């Protein structure tokens, strides 16, 4: 007898419907074959399914079972096909009716006693089931909160295979999981701008970066507070919209980084990988491509502390994602694309000892050592960074001053107002959420300059030898500064401040 059950696979961040066909033939010995490019975990489902069915008080009749996972040209991996295989076996042996199978999708790993265990990628698979017109999806109970984030489909939480069979046969129905259309939790931040002494110009740069989603590089001696200030950035960033939150949560679902207590990523992620991270860890990859740190930082912040220590080859890999906002990984098993629209915030010392250009402590590095250290960061990568700011050491008088600066809540209010202007400005334009996302067409449309501003930026281009990319980045930065000031037009004041954030070789960088 033949039974067909539907499940789902995750390819990158996209789902694909998988048909699990179970064919049962008579015989005196149990023979179980799985075809359709299964990996080792899928092949081991034979043992888990047989034990789970028998230990659930159900019958696993003797005979020959052939399980086909279609389409057969897509590699199948992981234990998520345990549940649909078990349901297919029960349907093929007439222990449950076939009526429910065509309307639902099943996903879950089985324990040997019939319990259902957590699997990753529940969110994109649930979204796939909704878009493909399935009425309901059966998922492990521990994953039901995550699946219930998707509206428009009934989510059935399953603890045990026995409970599922009783539900399908109508003995004891399982109530569906209520949908969580709006999940709001107050943000918690470990650092606040009010706790940082001095560095007012760096705080201003952080505010501009947060308001427009701009990349930023802080350069200064050790102990000046670069890392601390970078970690305050989440406290002034606006929360994610519902659409953006689901977008980010899909990535974390595939990466298996969600918990039942926190099924939705509501606030911009802040990722801070160590400089010993591998290429696959930073960019993404592996035999079965997984998202890297640049994708986990999507719609948030990627903070690279001690930037030159990451190595030139590793940093050059960031150039394409910084421009295209996506990363494409090609493997023998296929090509997948992950989103990578992140703010790059980095910090570095000006030289190996850290004190080149410091007015109070002499640098012990040779000229060659300084030049080689700074050459670890290429010009094309520096050109993609909007804000370059120097972070000097903090004076004793500032450190011992009991007065506090602006708290993050006040700065965040200004950032929210600037982002609201950008949301209204870019309404109806896809893939543009902030000023930093603008392309040449949008820059030309939304960043008009008067005669004085044209003269100022023209002089800056000649003196600083700005590239065409840097020209557009100055305009986008000026647009953000004008938004923070609540002004519709960009003036020379905004252009002048934006130009101040371009790098200068006569400061820390060697000529």
What's the Cα-to-Cα distance from 334 to each of 127, 263, 288, 289, rounded to whole Å? 22, 29, 9, 9
Closest CA to 205 of 196, 216, 189: 216
Report the pLDDT value the prediction gives residue 278, as an integer from 0 to 100. 92
Summary mean pLDDT of the chain? 91
Q: Report whether pLDDT(28) > 50.
A: yes
Q: Is residue 420 part of a domain?
A: no
Residues of the chain with pLDDT > 90: what percent?
73
Looking at residues 251-257, what average pLDDT do you find?
Answer: 93
Alpha-carbon gap, residue 504 to 394, rounded angstroms: 22
Is 124 part of a structural domain of the chain?
Answer: yes
Nearest to 439 by CA among 386, 387, 476: 476
pLDDT value, residue 509: 45
The predicted pLDDT at position 359 comes to: 86
Rounded to an integer, the average pLDDT of 287-291 is 85
Average pLDDT of span 100-115: 94
* pLDDT(226) > 70: yes
CA distance 460 to 470: 11
Cα distance between residue 109 and residue 88, in whole Å? 14
Residue 495's pLDDT band (cuts 50, 70, 90) = very high
Is 60 exceeded by the pLDDT of residue 91? yes
Q: Enter the pTM of the model.
A: 0.90
Identify whether the C-beta of residue 343 lies closer than 8 Å to the C-beta of residue 214.
yes
Domain annotation covers residue 9 = yes
Q: What is the total count of domains within the chain? A: 1
Looking up residue 25, the CATH number of its domain turns out to be 3.30.230.10
Q: Which residue range forms the structural domain that includes residue 9?
A: 2-168
Mean pLDDT confidence for 318-325: 92
What does the radius of gyration of the chain's CA atoms come to, in whole angstroms?
28
Q: Does 447 map to a domain?
A: no
The answer to whether residue 98 sits within a structural domain is yes
Instruction: Kindly tell me if the per-residue pLDDT of 185 is higher than 70.
Output: no
Task: Look at residue 511 and tell me whether its pLDDT is greater than 80.
Answer: no
Residue 185 lies in a domain: no
Minimum mean pLDDT range among 64-68, 157-161, 502-506: 502-506
Residue 333 has pLDDT above 80, yes or no: no
In a domain, residue 264? The reply is no
The structure tokens 């080689």 sit at 372
DSSP label at 38?
B
**Rounded distance, CA 42 to CA 85, Å?**
10
pLDDT value, residue 262: 82
What does the block give as tokens for 408? 């993050």
Tell me whether residue 427 is in a domain.
no
Contact of 303 with 311, CB cutoff 8 Å: no
């Amino acid at each position: 007898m033949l039974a067909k059950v539907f499940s789902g696979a995750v390819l990158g961040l996209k789902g694909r419907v998988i048909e699990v066909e179970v064919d049962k033939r008579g015989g005196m010995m149990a023979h179980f074959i799985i075809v359709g490019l299964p990996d080792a975990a899928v092949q081991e489902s034979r043992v888990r399914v047989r034990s789970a069915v028998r230990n659930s008080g159900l019958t696993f009749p003797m005979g020959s079972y052939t399980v086909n996972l279609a389409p057969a040209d897509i590699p199948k991996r992981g234990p998520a096909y345990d549940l649909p295989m078990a349901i297919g076996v029960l349907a093929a042996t007439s222990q449950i009716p076939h009526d429910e199978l065509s309307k639902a999708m099943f996903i879950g790993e089985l324990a040997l006693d019939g319990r259902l265990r957590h699997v990753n990628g529940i969110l994109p698979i649930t979204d796939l089931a909704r878009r493909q017109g399935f009425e309901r999806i059966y998922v492990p109970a521990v994953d039901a909160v995550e699946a219930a984030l998707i509206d428009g489909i009934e989510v059935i939480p399953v603890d045990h295979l026995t409970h599922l069979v009783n539900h399908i046969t109508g003995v004891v129905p399982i109530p569906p999981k209520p949908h969580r259309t709006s999940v709001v939790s107050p943000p918690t931040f470990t650092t606040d701008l009010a706790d940082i002494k001095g560095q007012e110009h760096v705080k201003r740069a952080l505010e501009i970066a947060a308001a427009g989603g701009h990349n930023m590089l802080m350069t200064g001696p050790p102990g000046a507070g670069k890392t601390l200030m970078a970690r305050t950035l989440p406290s002034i960033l606006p929360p994610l919209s519902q659409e953006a939150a689901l977008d980010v949560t899909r990535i974390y679902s595939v990466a298996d980084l969600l918990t039942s207590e926190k099924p939705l990523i509501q606030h911009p992620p802040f990722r801070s990988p160590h400089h010993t991270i591998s290429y696959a860890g930073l960019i993404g990859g592996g035999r079965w491509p997984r998202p890297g740190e640049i994708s986990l930082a999507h719609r948030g912040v990627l903070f690279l502390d001690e930037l030159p220590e990451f190595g030139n080859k590793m940093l050059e890999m960031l150039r394409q994602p910084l421009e295209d906002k996506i990363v494409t990984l090609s493997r023998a098993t296929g090509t997948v694309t992950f989103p990578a629209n992140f703010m790059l915030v980095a910090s570095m010392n000006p030289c190996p000892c850290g004190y080149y250009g410091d007015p109070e402590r002499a640098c012990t590095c040779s000229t060659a050592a300084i030049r080689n250290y700074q050459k670890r960061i290429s010009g094309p990568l520096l050109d993609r960074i909007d804000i370059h700011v120097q972070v000097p050491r903090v004076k004793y008088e500032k450190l011992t001053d009991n007065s506090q600066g602006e708290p993050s809540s006040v700065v965040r209010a200004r950032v929210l107002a600037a982002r609201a202007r950008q949301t209204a400005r870019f309404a109806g334009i896809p893939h543009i959420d902030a000023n930093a996302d603008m392309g040449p067409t949008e820059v030309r449309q939304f960043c008009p300059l008067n005669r004085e501003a044209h003269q100022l930026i023209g002089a800056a281009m000649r003196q600083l030898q700005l590239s065409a990319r840097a020209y557009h980045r100055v305009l986008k930065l000026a647009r953000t500064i004008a938004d923070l000031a609540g002004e519709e037009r960009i003036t020379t004041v905004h252009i002048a401040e934006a130009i101040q954030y371009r790098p200068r070789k006569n400061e820390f960088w060697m000529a």
